[in-house]
Amino acid sequence: MKRDAELDRLLAEEIERRLPAFVTPGAHVMDVRAAMHSLKGSAAMAGYGELALVIGQLGVRLKSGDDDARSLAAAVMTGALERLRTGKPPFPTSWPEPPPPLEPSNVEPRYLSEYHSAMRDRLGEIDQALASTGDPLPILEQAQRTVHSMKGASAGVGDDVTAWYCHGLEARLRDAAADPKLAREALVELSRHRVLLALLLEDPARGLAGLRALSATLEPNTGHATSAPRSPSASLPKSTLRPPSFAPSSSPPAHPTTLPPPPRPVSGYDVPLRVSHTAVEHLIDRLESLDAVGDELTGAATTATRTSARLAELRLTLLDAARRIGPPRPWGPPAAALAELESTAEGLRRAAARIRLGAVTLRSGASLVRARSSEMREGLTALRRTSMGWVFERVSNAVVRFADGQNKLVRVEVAGGDVSVDRVVAERLLEAVVQLARNAVAHGIQPPAERERAGKPALGTIWLRASRDGNLLRVSVEDDGQGADAARIRRIALERGFASAELLGQTSLPELMGLLLLPGMTTREGADLLAGRGIGLDLVQSAVRRFGGAVRLQNGVAGGLLATLELPSDLGVVNVLWLEERGAEFALPVSYASRVLLSQGAAVPRLSSCLGERWAAPARFVIELAGNERGSIPVGVDHVGLIEECSLRALPPRIAAAGPFGGAVLRADGALRLVLDGPLLAARARVLAARFGPKSSSSPSSAPVRS
């Protein structure tokens, strides 16, 4: 971000006004903390995220009773003031060299294991990107998204040092994303930064010390700490951080470097065990073998019972034969032969009794195997599930921390925390909800003084809600801030070439807000430590589309922005309505279809037209798409099929962006079919409907949806 001399002057005046609280003997600690809180927000607003980060760390130390924090804060503020007065940034260092007062972050022990596991997954994604071959631009784009996710995850648990490092790395990758040559160089640089990221996670103190010790190998980077090259064509530094154990290379490593080890158990806390979804599925499959063993035991018990009954029958036959022979006689069977028959009959009785007892044991064992298998399956299934409360708790912590850095007052209210959801969905959903909540703070919630002037309470509110409708999960993030500025969105969209002036003039506010989901579309002027780079909502949409979901944006009843995520709660299993249009088959989630009608010549937008094809003749059927406050919108199709429960698959971002698509379905015959994104399809249909001439006098007639 370009430095602003006026903001520098205002920040210097704020530091000068607040400095006496640090240096005056006997100043009350609450006055010092209030001064630090104010300066932290002012530094962030001026664009000096590193100064805000250092002030925040000193504030935590002061709150914990550290007597040295006040004197150190006075020295930091005095030095920053002197540099600002001479037209320099507050610190002489620039990313990736940490400012001198920066200290390692302290993550709460209850989040440590989970945080490390999530970050290890992200490092694995970076390794996959570095090992990929082909066009470097999409590879770099995916790596940038991963670094952005790491930044949000680290900020959410209080690892501000890693968040700062990821912020600078994200800016470096973003500036190289327009030129293939720069993209290749950025991937080479990323392979080295990946090692330092792992070091910061494994041992924050050693990682921070390593950054300082190796800063001499970096070329100076002009500008303040959060600045980045001003144009995509700016050259990347030729020298970068190179840990001693890794020799410089001219290409990404052929094999991923070692991931950091799991964190050590913390005394007093039950460290959770992280199990991958694939491992759980494998164990559940193995339980099918136990069920087969139970069936075999039951079959063996049945066979044993039959054998015991047969032996009993043979014993009775043998005894009856001995009875008919009669007593021993000199001319008949000797006594020894009769005694042997009786002994054999007794042996048959004992054998039948033992086999009958064995059959009872086998049945008991089969029942035990089935019961234990069922318990284990339920336990393993529980490992795959959690509640939205798990997501909302972490989002609330991240929001409060972020709002504090923005010098804003925010509270978080939660509803639907007990809604059950697949753990894999919850983990991916966490990033999206955190991003939406951060956007609400950065773009929606105004500073306390501004809110009071607008007649609102100084304390802003963010609502996190979750609900289930069958197997569809709805998660919403709403704030009571300033909402969406339609004129500003239109202006930025037009300036950046996202849409033409004609199209923007015909687009309503709900559809207009869909433009905020496009990469690089942001209404925030400048970028601070955690927001404003125009990829947040794009990241949200990508995360939701992985599960065949959709994102809706609209103004809420509280005056702010309401963002709603709709996705399957159980790993992409959702009911879809099959549609056919001009020989192509598409799937539409049933939740987006309110009615199916017979067209009867009604002039409505065709699905093919919404997909960019030429206008076609009136369709045979009309699907009324569930709409927003403006009502439903009809779309014509050639044929309507059955409703089917399907497992949705994610689409690559480039394919999803090519049309209103939210996922794909693999049919039984091996064919892959695209799943329509209901809100995006409705937005396109509404724009096309506005261009219609006189409507046909005929209107659609109702027809039931077939199941």
DSSP-derived 3-state class of residue 355? helix
623 membership: H or E segment, kind and range: strand 621-628
**What is the rounded CA–CA span in Å between residue 571 and residue 581?**
28
pLDDT over threshold 90, residue 168: no
Indicate the DSSP class of residue 606. Answer: B
Q: What percent of the chain has pLDDT over 90?
A: 5
CA atoms within 13 A on the CB side of 504: 18
Count other C-beta atoms under 10 Å from residue 503's C-beta: 15
- Nearest Cα neighbor of 408 from 353, 446, 434, 361 is 446
* pLDDT over 70 at 440, yes or no: yes
Helix (H) or strand (E) run with residue 145 in it = helix 136-156
User: What is residue 442's predicted lDDT score, i.e. its pLDDT?
Assistant: 82
Contact 119, 173 (CB under 8 A): no
pLDDT band at 523 (very low <50, low <70, confident <90, very high): low
Q: Name the most confidently modeled range: 52-56, 403-407, 572-576.
A: 52-56
Of the candidate ranges 261-275, 330-344, 357-371, the one whose mean pLDDT is the lowest: 261-275
Grade residue 265 by pLDDT with cuts at 50, 70 and 90: very low
Q: Mean pLDDT across the stretch 680-687?
A: 79
Angle made by CA atoms 151, 152, 156, in degrees to the nearest 5:
120
What number is the average pLDDT over the span 557-581? 80
**Predicted confidence band of residue 342 (pLDDT cuts 50, 70, 90):** confident
User: Does the pLDDT value for residue 273 go beyond 70?
Assistant: no
Task: Please compute the mean of the pLDDT values over residues 510-524 and round it to a whole number.
Answer: 63
Lowest mean pLDDT among 175-179, 491-495, 520-524: 520-524
pLDDT of 534 reads 44
Q: Which of 108-122, 527-541, 638-652 has the lowest mean pLDDT?
A: 527-541
Indicate the burial class of 2 (C-beta count within 10 angstroms; 0-12, 13-18, 19 or more): exposed
**From 145-149, 441-445, 499-503, the region with the lowest mean pLDDT:** 499-503
Q: List pLDDT tens digits, range 190-242.
A: 888 888 888 888 888 888 888 887 665 554 443 333 333 333 333 333 333 33
Q: What pLDDT is attached to residue 499?
A: 67
State the Cα–Cα distance between residues 458 and 162, nearest whole angstrom.
Answer: 31
pLDDT digits (tens, 9 = 90+) for 19-32: 888 888 877 888 88
DSSP label at residue 46:
T
Beta strands in 211-264 (DSSP E): none
Residues 6 or more apart whose CB falls under 8 angstroms from that of 176 comprise 140, 182, 183, 185, 186, 232, 236
- Is the pLDDT higher at 74 or at 684? 74
The pLDDT, as a whole number, for residue 180 is: 82
Q: Name the amino acid, one letter, at 575.
A: N
The whole-number pLDDT of residue 555 equals: 80
Q: Which of 172, 272, 149 is nearest to 218 (CA)?
A: 172
Between 386-400, 447-461, 598-612, 692-706, the lowest mean confidence (pLDDT) is in: 692-706
Higher pLDDT residue, 693 or 323? 323
Q: Please name the residues in contact with 435: beta carbons below 8 A apart, sequence gap of 6 or more.
A: 152, 536, 537, 539, 540
Q: Which of 154-163, 359-368, 649-658 has the lowest mean pLDDT?
A: 649-658
For residues 624 and 706, which has the higher predicted lDDT (pLDDT)? 624
Among 463, 409, 403, residue whose Cα is nearest residue 433:
463
**Per-residue model confidence (pLDDT) at position 185:** 87
Beta bridge partners of 674: 586, 664
Would you state the pLDDT for residue 221?
46
CA-closest candidate to residue 561, choices 577, 545, 540, 547: 540
Minimum mean pLDDT range among 152-156, 326-330, 502-506, 659-663: 502-506
* pLDDT value of residue 462: 93
394 Cβ contact partners less than 8 Å away, ≥ 6 residues apart: 111, 156, 157, 430, 434
Tell me the C-alpha distance between 609 and 460, whole Å. Answer: 43
Mean pLDDT of 28-47: 81
Each residue's pLDDT tens digit, 69-118: 888 988 999 999 999 988 888 898 888 888 888 888 888 887 787 788 88
Better-scored residue on pLDDT, 380 or 270: 380
Pairing assessment for the beta strands 672-676 and 584-589 based on DSSP bridges: parallel
Query: Rounded to whole angstroms, how far apart are CA atoms 315 and 313?
Result: 5
Q: State residue 464's pLDDT score.
A: 94
pLDDT tops 70 at residue 705: no
- CATH class, range 388-568: alpha beta
Buried b (16+ CB within 10 A) or exposed e, 547-569: bbbbbbbbbbebebbbbbbbbbb
CA distances from 613 to 64, 581, 605, 664, 678 (A): 64, 11, 11, 20, 18
CB 19 within 8 A of CB 65: no
Return the closest-CA partner of residue 108 out of 261, 262, 269, 259. Answer: 269
One-letter identity of residue 480: D
β partners of residue 640: 579
**Pair of tokens at residue 299:** 């079959």
Give residue 626's pLDDT: 74
Q: Bigger pLDDT: 504 or 192?
A: 192
pLDDT at 662 over 80: no
- As a whole number, mean pLDDT of residues 292-318 equals 87
Residue 628 has pLDDT above 60, yes or no: no
> In the block, which residue shows the tokens 């972490």?
394
**649: its two tokens:** 């698959």
Q: How far is CA 586 from CA 170, 599, 635, 660, 683, in A?
A: 37, 19, 13, 11, 18
Backbone dihedral angles phi then psi of residue 468, each to the nearest 5 degrees? -125, 140
Q: How confident is the model at residue 287 (pLDDT cuts 50, 70, 90)?
A: confident
- Helix or strand (DSSP H, E) at 362: helix 335-383
Residue 707's Cα: distance from chain center in Å? 33
pTM of the model: 0.58
Question: What number is the average pLDDT over the span 667-686?
Answer: 79
pLDDT for 586 equals: 92
| Mean of the per-residue pLDDT values of the chain | 77
Show the tokens assigned to 223: 């500008």
- Calpha distance 630→509 (Å, rounded): 10
Crossing angle for the helix pair 49-63 and 68-85, nearest 10 degrees? 160
CB distance 59 to 40 below 8 Å: yes
> Residue 174: is its pLDDT beyond 80?
yes
Gap between the Cα atoms of 448 and 453, Å rounded? 9
The residue behind tokens 């909540």 is 437
- Helix, strand or coil for residue 202? helix
pLDDT band at residue 573 under the 50/70/90 scheme:
low
Per-residue model confidence as pLDDT tens digits over 454-499: 888 989 999 999 998 766 788 999 998 887 777 777 787 777 776 6
**Residue 170 CB-half CA count within 13 A:** 27
Closest residue by Cα to residue 150 from 115, 113, 178, 184: 115
Residue ranges of the domains in the chain? 5-217, 278-383, 388-568, 573-703
CA distance 363 to 370: 11
Residue 415 has pLDDT above 80, yes or no: yes
Instruction: Please check the confidence at residue 424 and state whether its pLDDT lies above 70.
Output: yes
Residues 559 and 481: beta-carbon distance below 8 Å: yes
Task: Collapse the DSSP code of 484 into the 3-class scheme (helix H, G, I; strand E, B; otherwise coil) and give the result.
Answer: coil
